[in-house]
Amino acid sequence: MSKAVVLLSGGLDSAATAAIARSEGFGLYALSFDYGQRHLRELDSAKAVAQSLGAKDHLIIHFDLRGMGGSALTDEIEVPLDRPDNDISSVVPITYVPARNTIFLSFALGYAETIGAFDIFIGVSQVDYSGYPDCRMEFIDAFEDMANLATKAGVEGTGRFRIRTPLLELSKADAVRRGLDLGLDYSLTWSCYLGESRPCGRCDSCKLRLAAFAEAGEADPLDYL
Amino acid sequence: MSKAVVLLSGGLDSAATAAIARSEGFGLYALSFDYGQRHLRELDSAKAVAQSLGAKDHLIIHFDLRGMGGSALTDEIEVPLDRPDNDISSVVPITYVPARNTIFLSFALGYAETIGAFDIFIGVSQVDYSGYPDCRMEFIDAFEDMANLATKAGVEGTGRFRIRTPLLELSKADAVRRGLDLGLDYSLTWSCYLGESRPCGRCDSCKLRLAAFAEAGEADPLDYL
């Protein structure tokens, strides 16, 4: 069974991505991060999702971006609630964490090289791009090129690393449907930025999630405040 | 004064690189990592070097690669001593940490974006390449391309990130000389993989350091076992 590293945040998109990787026959090696995010609760969701998909291993890497500043997700800046949909989709959000996907993919590359995997799955979508530069195809392609120059495996020609983005051209609603088709249990996932015991329904992440379920014509199994 | 992020390990090369960045008029923002390496002592050296060069700030990011395995620097694998020079220069060493420079540069990119710096200095040399794929020019170029697609600043056109490698074409001996010309105090630096109170003089890193000082015709100020 081929191995794949899957970046798993505990949210909708990464869970659907993991389900897709499993459906392609990969043995899953889940990778999550505890990076001082407010919504640490999502790590419990990541564990539950990894377990439900029969992951072979689940590595959680701890690091601290708080000393770095620059984001409402890791700083004491207030998370905006009830933003107009227009703002959500057009402005680089203040919840943008500098170089986050670059950092995540770099660790995934190290993990992949260590376990002998060449496929790295990440749940980015450029349809729901929302102003995050590191969710776009050109970024992913550039990372893949770099990855194959960065590593012993790449240099020695043992294989070619591939950054797999099965959601890249899917809307969030389509990603929800794809996950449901594969039997994914979305009650295990978590999206709310606030990380309280129940999701707020008012932060950007909750609003995008609710809109995705609504557009997919499906009920979100989570119990909102 | 323009800001530069400088990756500072506490070793010879990164110290010389930092001295060069300062000589170019940059305000230095040093970045070091505590990643479960055996030779944690190098972090004390990094602090001393940063201070001696008047760094504006010094951020130390903690993360743990031990769960990942794959290297004698972070695992319980024995560090080889007294290897023939031939082995040191031709084989990808078992002290290779998967994707290490990729991970380091990714954090540096996040730090640079946060503080508004566009220059990131790293002390790699392809002359003393020694089998590390992530010390080569092609890797650095690929990382730079990726960095400018990964970031808000890159996408919004605020500036272009540059990965600066002033040692790339220098031998380790030339790097030592360059540092001395700039008044760098090498007694503050540390290279030994073992991280005891005094350097062993027998691991690959000590041997490369001693050879560099010998070739430069200078005395290494450290007191070896």
Judged by average pLDDT, the poorest of B37-46, B135-144, B156-165 is B37-46
In chain A, domain spans: 3-216
- A24-43 pLDDT, tens per residue? 999 999 999 988 776 678 89
CATH of A3-216, one of 3.40.50.620, 3.30.420.10, 1.10.3720.10, 3.40.50.12280: 3.40.50.620
CA A170 centroid distance within chain: 14
Q: Which residue of chain B is at minimal alpha-carbon distance from A131? A: B152
Q: Does B151 touch chain A (CB under 8 A)?
A: yes
CA distance B122 to chain A (A): 15
Cα B174 to Cα A218: distance, rounded to the nearest angstrom:
65
Mean pLDDT computed over A89-109: 77
pLDDT band for position A99 (50/70/90)? confident
- B101-160 pLDDT, tens per residue? 999 999 999 999 989 999 999 999 987 656 678 889 999 999 999 999 998 877 787 889
Which residues of A are less than 8 Å from B69 in CB distance? 114
Per the CB < 8 Å rule, is A114 touching B68? yes
pLDDT at A77: 58
Strands B3-7 and A162-164: unpaired
pLDDT band for position A174 (50/70/90)? very high
pLDDT at B156: 81
Mean pLDDT computed over A116-127: 93
Cα B102 to Cα B95: distance, rounded to the nearest angstrom:
16
Specify the residue for token string 């995705």: A212
pLDDT at A91: 53
Mark out the alpha helices in chain A (DSSP H runs): 12-23, 41-52, 85-90, 100-115, 137-150, 152-156, 172-181, 204-216
Percent of chain A residues topping a pLDDT of 90: 62
Mean pLDDT computed over B36-59: 89
A94 by Cβ neighbours in 10 Å (0-12 / 13-18 / 19+) ranks as middle
Per the CB < 8 Å rule, is B134 touching A150? yes
User: In this predicted complex, what is the ipTM?
Assistant: 0.88
pLDDT band for position A78 (50/70/90)? low
**Closest Cα partner for A12 from A198, A217, A197, A212?**
A212
For chain A, the average pLDDT equals: 87
Question: Max alpha carbon distance in chain A (Å)?
Answer: 53
The answer to whether the Cα torsion of A24, A25, A29, A30 is positive or negative is positive
Which range scores top for mean pLDDT: A127-136, A199-208, B175-184?
A: B175-184
CB B207 within 8 A of CB B79: no
Mutate which of A32, A62, A64, A149 to disrupt the B interface (most B C-beta within 10 Å)?
A149
DSSP annotation of A120 = E
Judged by average pLDDT, the poorest of A2-6, A132-136, A206-210, B144-148 is A132-136
For chain B, the average pLDDT equals: 87
CA distance B139 to chain A (A): 5
pLDDT band for position B89 (50/70/90)? low
pLDDT at B73: 55
Q: Which residue of chain B is at minimal alpha-carbon distance from A142? A: B146
Per the CB < 8 Å rule, is B99 touching A113? yes
Select the more confidently predicted residue: A166 or A99: A166
Instruction: Say yes or no to pLDDT of B221 above 80.
Output: yes
pTM of the model: 0.90
Q: Beta strands of chain B (E only): which ranges?
A: 3-7, 27-34, 57-62, 119-121, 162-164
